[in-house]
Amino acid sequence: MGDLLANKTILVMGVANRRSIAWGCAQIMQEQGANLIYTYQNERLKKGLLKLVGDEASLFECDVADDNSIAQAFSEIKARYGKLDGIVHAIAYAPKAELEGEITNATRAGFQTALDVSAYSLIAVSKAAMELALLNDLASLVTLTYMGSTRAIPNYNTMGIAKAALESSVRYLARDLGKFGIRVNAISAGAIKTLAVTGIKGHSDLLEISKQRTVDQAAVTIREVGGTCAFLMSDLATGVVGDVIYVDKGVHLI
Ligand code: NAD
């Protein structure tokens, strides 16, 4: 418990279940005094979220592949809360066929979907928030990325390219939103067993190898990722702009 995020209202996008990285972020931010709002992709995912946060929580439907859905959710949030101090964007998707074999198997449609949902969505969300003047001074946007953006990880393929685009989007957004005092950063998390990861062919090997390559052979946890998310949301991080911070217990070093 602490008060690092006291009086901050933060939107968390991407909690699917208790294994979600966004849920680790939400837990730590709440322990640090933040008031949290959640979005969910669709009715099916709302059920899992409700189980975690209960009926009292503030939930809004938002499919980031659809500008109208983002606009609708954000205008409802604006009407209810006025301003936000932060947004956690923990969202990615690629069709399963993109996450196996070689990159030459990539299809135009699969590539577009992966880049749209996993990279462009951060720009779309930022744009909608700016259009509605939804963000306070010193607000912080945090997204989740993976080192498949800079390394050729087996089967990660199109998603690695999407993560490269996402990290680049972070830098351009940080430049443009920085003028308004808003910071944009990414956390590059180590491999964690979540719903999203199970879409990658051979994910058991990926998880096991990643675990072996941490400094203590124990996988990074969603709470450890959440700790860095809370820091980035806090005013302690006002000097961190447009960066990618690794929270993978050293896997990227080896
Ligand atoms: P997860 O499956 O728990 O979360 C993914 C979320 O994305 C889900 O809540 C899903 O509803 C949401 N989503 C997908 N398409 C959407 C859409 N069109 N509109 C709205 N929401 C949509 O998995 P996770 O691993 O917690 O993933 C969160 C983020 O962390 C992703 O960006 C992922 O790439 C990233 N990441 C994961 C790992 C890992 O090993 N798990 C490592 C590094 C980065």
Nearest to 81 by CA among 48, 49, 33, 129: 129
The pLDDT of residue 84: 98
Angle between helices 222-233 and 21-31 (to 10 degrees): 50
pLDDT given at position 11: 98
Which ligand 1 atom sits closest to the C-alpha of 143?
A: 32
CA torsion angle 120 242 230 71 (round to 10): -30
In the three-class reduction of DSSP (H, G, I as helix; E, B as strand; rest coil), residue 155 is classed as coil
Question: Which structure tokens are listed for 63?
Answer: 């499919």
Name residue, tokens 């991080």: 237
Question: Which amino acids bring their CB within 6 angstroms of ligand 1?
Answer: 14-16, 20-22, 41, 45, 63-65, 90-93, 117, 144-146, 189, 191-192, 194-197
The answer to whether residue 81 is catalytic is: no
Encoding tokens for residue 30?
Answer: 């709440």
Rounded distance between C-alpha atoms, residue 70 and residue 188, angstroms: 25
Ligand 1 pocket, mutate which of 41, 150, 221 (most atoms under 8 A from CB): 41
Torsion of CA 206, 209, 210, 211, to 10 degrees: 120
Residue 254 has a pLDDT of 85
For the CA of 146, the nearest atom of ligand 1: 43
Active-site residue, from 38, 93, 156, 246:
156
Q: Does the annotation mark 156 as catalytic?
A: yes
The pLDDT score that the predictor gives to residue 231 is: 98
Q: What are the pLDDT tens digits along the chain (254 aa)?
A: 899 999 999 999 999 999 999 999 999 999 999 999 999 999 999 999 999 999 899 999 999 999 999 999 999 999 999 999 999 999 999 999 999 999 999 999 999 999 999 999 999 999 999 999 999 999 999 999 999 999 999 999 999 999 999 999 999 999 999 999 999 999 999 999 999 999 999 999 999 999 999 999 999 999 999 999 999 999 999 999 999 999 999 999 98
Element (H, E) at 77: helix 67-81
Kindly report the pTM of this predicted structure: 0.98
The pLDDT of residue 32 is 98
- 146/35 Cα distance (integer angstroms): 27
Residues 11 and 39 sit within 8 Å (Cβ to Cβ): yes
The token duo for 184 is: 């944009």
CA distance 163 to 170: 10
- 171-179 long-range Cβ contacts below 8 angstroms, 24+ apart: 171/242, 173/122, 173/123, 173/126, 173/141, 173/242, 174/241, 174/242, 175/242, 177/126, 177/130, 177/141, 178/241, 178/242
Estimate to the nearest angstrom the gap between the alpha carbon of 84 and the chain centroid.
Answer: 16
Give the 3-state DSSP-derived string for 153-196, with helices as H, strands as E and coil as C.
CCCCHHHHHHHHHHHHHHHHHHHHHHCCCCEEEEEEECCCCCCC
Cα separation, 4 vs 24, in Å, equals: 16
Catalytic residue among 38, 146, 172, 246: 146
pLDDT at site 157: 98
Question: What is the DSSP pairing of strand 135-145 with strand 35-40?
Answer: unpaired
d(CA 62, CA 40): 6
- Side-chain-side CA neighbours of 252 within 13 Å: the count stands at 18
Query: Could you tell which of 49, 50, 91, 193 is best to mutate to test the pocket of ligand 1, judged by most ligand atoms within 8 Å of the CB?
Result: 91
Check: CB of residue 210 under 8 Å from CB of residue 200: no
